[in-house]
Structure 1
Amino acid sequence: MKDNNALGIQYLQEGKYEEALAAFSEEIEQNPENAVAYVNFGNVLSAVGELEKAIKFFERALSKDESMGTAHYGLGNVYYQLEKWHEAKDHFELAMKKGVNDSDIYFMLGMTLLQFEQPKLALPYFQRAVELKPEDAEARFQYGLCLAGQGLIKEATTEFELVVESDEEHADAYYNLGVAYAYQENRDKAIEMLDKALDVQADHMLAAHAKKILTEN
């Protein structure tokens, strides 16, 4: 007997959304009380931008099993995309309480707190995201920005260096390295990093402006 949930997840990972919806739909028909199938269906709808429909499926999952942390996580993601920050934050926190504990949820909660302009509160979430998934360049970049925002320039520099090691095309990380080295009065290194930002993204206005300031002085 085929496992529709496993099949649907495979299709979702391959970007075959119609096939994924068909598999999860069949699972729901056969096992209407299976909360996981509703979450999976909601995840596909979310992936294709059917956000309002996705909300209904995540809520249906919770009506079947209120301890379903992944349903709260799905709702958090949808509300984040809809820029409903309070709802996003509430659902991410509920997801954590109900056992979702991977790097993605720490990253998303950190991103949500940034929308409230609370980088100091976001910082430990990005730190945890990076601890759980060291290769996540975007989480590390946000962690570096929060460190820099708290005046921890050397620590931020270390993080930005690690970002560009893993992603040589990360123009914003090079730009922030340039600024960080300028703060540390290492003008040559600062210009080198700003040049790298401009190599990756020729129209990086902030990098061009920072370089202009450094080369004119």
Structure 2
Amino acid sequence: MGLSPKDSLQLKEVLQTAVVKCSERCLYQSAKWAAELLDALPEPDLDTMSEAPGSHVHPVFAPNPDPAEADREAQEVGRYLLAKSYFDCKEFERCAAVFLPEPLLASLLATNPNETTNPKGKGKAKAIAAFSSGYTLPEISQKSMFLALYAKVIAGEKHKDEDTEMVMGPQDSGSVINKQLVVVSRFLSKWFAQRKANDGDYPASQGFLEYLYGMVLAKEKNDNLALDYLMQSVRLFPWNWGAWLEITNLVSRVEQASSTGPSSLRLLLNEIARHLPQNIMSFIFHINAAVNLYQQGPGLASSLNGLLGIFPTSSFLLTCKALLYYHSKDLFAAEQEFNKVLALHPQRLDSLDHYSNILYVLNRRPKLAFLAHLCSNIDKFRPESCVVIGNYYSLLSLHEKAVQYFRRALTLDRSCLSAWTLMGHEYVELKNTHAAIESYRRAVDVNQRDYRAWYGLGQTYEVLEMHAYALWYYKKAAGLRPWDSKMWQAVGSCLQKMGRDRDGIKALKRALLADSYYDTAAAAV
């Protein structure tokens, strides 16, 4: 797959615009992702372009097409720069207060103008009703509103981490919530309601507030409504990778029988893809989502190679290719792909926890030691670095030390899936089944598609000779990896221990069939 010089220049410009727009709103991870993809795009041949030098105006410098928004942004430029400087200095509450001071938000949430608290019980319903009608939202630009509300969400996450007990401590129930989500959710609900026209359509929007509302709704477990707003966001501005990742997190599987009903179909990859904009971003999203759902096959490999033809040195796409080999059980090819990524981007720590898993399984002790030292020298307080070091200690059978580093990774990021799962493995080695079960359960809470956590739960309950529980978890793992012989062998073994020999034989036959499938899939990649 290749692009003409004109298409390559247009793609370069939209990626540059994406970096600037995401950076303006402090979406740093999305800006980094777009910048890395931009860096992997070969320079277009400008000699073939017909435009005279200096005659082209870059989209970044084009004025806002909405005159009202352009006027608001011009009037707010001083306050916007102040708010962004506060955000960059991690003073999130001060950032939000520049445009949305606390008294204003309190008055919007109160039952009457003189009440600034949000009471419980019946008063709470009155507060919601008062917020829905009777007060108008401030007239500020969408960019400033996004920055203020996003700062509120980040401040809530910061306070949530501060209120959370020590990882796996006696009081760590995982039930602490972000208290700012309800404020941001109600604010955006009213904002969208006010902008809704009589025919049900919204006036022109930039797509970022839809992304923020979808992200908040997803955190509140309102998946269907979250998906609606996230899909609106990627239609309005398809270059925000964070919105695509939120959609990926909502996808449950690739496809499913129609008998499950329309509500569940909305969370299936093939169904969602029909409603997405047809551009290169939806193409990248589909590949990334398929890899996250442990898919293999020549079609997926061909699509990924086509994208690598456009972005030959993209660390993200090369990592996707490595994970594709990994899920196809071709660990040697996966190791080679990660070696290539490490050679091209030696300071990049993203996804190196997956690389360390591969080195651990292949028993590459010197390479894993080198990787652990590399990560420690670059940034020892990144969750990925802690997971890599934990894997190294696990390979040395220093399981207590490994648990210590996995705990450190979770202290830095409670949503680090690898750390939860791997810590469960270490607790199994230490014969601490209670802690292992809790670790695996927390991993499933982070991502219900993690078959390794479901399989770990099955193993742990099998050790406890609770075969009915073990069978249920093994079946969950097998449902996520239907062509993995290891999953079906566990199901078959558990069935035989329960005296269900005929069903056990069927499961073991399925395991034999699965082995041949992965041999074919690995060859296709």
Question: TM-score, length-normalised on structure 2?
Answer: 0.29
Q: Does 1:101 align with 2:449?
A: yes
Q: 1:62-101: CA deviations, max 9, x gaps?
A: 2212222321211110010121111111111111112263
Paired positions, count: 168
Higher deviation after alignment, 119-128 or 97-106: 97-106
1:92 paired residue number: 440
Larger radius of gyration: 2
- Offset of 1:61 from its aligned partner? 0.9
The 8 Å contact of residues 24 and 41 in structure 1, kept in 2 or not, is answered as yes
CA spacing shift, 1:144–1:15, aligned 2, 3 Å: closer
Residues 449, 480 of structure 2: 8 Å contact kept:
no
Tell whether the 8 Å contact from 1:77 to 1:88 is kept in structure 2 after alignment: yes
Structure 2 letter corresponding to 1:31:
D
Shift of the alpha carbon at 1:57? Answer: 0.8
Take 1:121 and 1:20, find their aligned partners in 2: how far apart are those partners? 35
Question: For residue 46 of structure 1, what is the aligned residue in structure 2?
Answer: 394
- Shift of the 7–63 alpha-carbon distance from structure 1 to 2, 3 Å rule, reads closer
Counterpart among 370, 390, 404 of residue 22 in structure 1: 370
Q: How far, CA to CA, are the matches of 1:112 and 1:135 in structure 2? A: 22
Shift of 1:151: 5.0
Paired position in structure 2 for 1:171: none
SS in structure 1 at match of 2:487 = helix
Corresponding residue for 1:64? 412
The runs of 4+ residues in structure 1 deviating greater than 6 Å are none
List alignment gaps of at least 5 residues for structure 1.
169-217
| Residue among 348, 359, 362 paired with 1:12 | 359
Matched to 2:450, the amino acid is D
Question: Could you list the per-position Cα deviations for residues 167-203 of structure 1 after superposition, in whole angstroms to 9, with x for gaps in the alignment?
Answer: 79xxxxxxxxxxxxxxxxxxxxxxxxxxxxxxxxxxx
Counterparts in 2 of 1:20 and 1:133: CA distance versus 1, 3 Å: same
Tell me how far apart the structure 2 counterparts of residues 138 and 7 of structure 1 sit (CA, whole Å): 25
What's the secondary structure of 1:49's corresponding residue?
coil
Q: Deviations over 1:45-73 (max 9, x none)?
A: 21231212111111111221222232121
Determine the C-alpha separation between the residues in 1 that align with 2:497 and 2:485: 18
- Give the conservation status (yes or no) of the 8 Å contact 1:76–1:92: yes
Amino acid at match of 2:443: A
CA shift in 2, pair 1:31/1:123, >3 Å? same
* Structure 2 residues not aligned, in runs of 5+: 1-344, 517-525
Alignment of 1:85-164 (within 5 A): 85-99=433-447, 101-164=449-512
CA distance in 1 between counterparts of 2:409 and 2:447 reads 16
Does the aligned pair in 2 maintain the 1:38–1:58 contact within 8 Å?
A: yes
Structural RMSD (CA): 2.7
Is residue 454–residue 474 contact of structure 2 (8 Å, CA) maintained in 1?
yes
Structure 2 residue aligned with 1:2? 346
Determine the C-alpha separation between the residues in 2 that align with 1:106 and 1:7: 23
CA offset digits 1:117-138 (Å, max 9, x no partner): 2111111211122222234333
Distance 1:62 1:156, change over 3 A: same
Between the aligned partners of 2:497 and 2:401, the Cα distance in structure 1 is 38
Instruction: Return the alpha-carbon distance in structure 1 between the equivalents of residues 352 and 454 of structure 2.
Output: 28
Change (3 A) 1:133 1:79: same
Maintained 8 Å contact 2:471/2:495: yes
Partner of 2:205: none
User: What secondary structure sits across from 1:159 in the alignment?
Assistant: helix
Letter in 2 for 1:34: R
Deviations 1:138-161 (A, max 9, x none): 321221233344554432221122
What is aligned with 1:197?
none
CA distance in 1, matches of 2:424, 2:437: 7
The 2-side partners of 1:39 and 1:110 are apart by 23
In structure 2, the CA distance between the partners of 1:144 and 1:19, relative to structure 1 (3 Å rule), is closer
User: Residue 95 of structure 2 corresponds to which residue in structure 1?
Assistant: none
2 CA distance for matches of 1:26 and 1:100?
A: 31
Measured in 2, the distance between the counterparts of 1:138 and 1:32 equals: 34
Question: 1:74 and 1:157 mapped to 2: Cα distance?
Answer: 31
Q: State the shift of 1:7 in Å.
A: 6.6
Q: Is the 8 A contact 2:488 2:508 kept in 1?
A: yes
Instruction: Say if 1:167 and 1:70 are closer, same or farther in 2 by CA, change over 3 A.
Output: closer
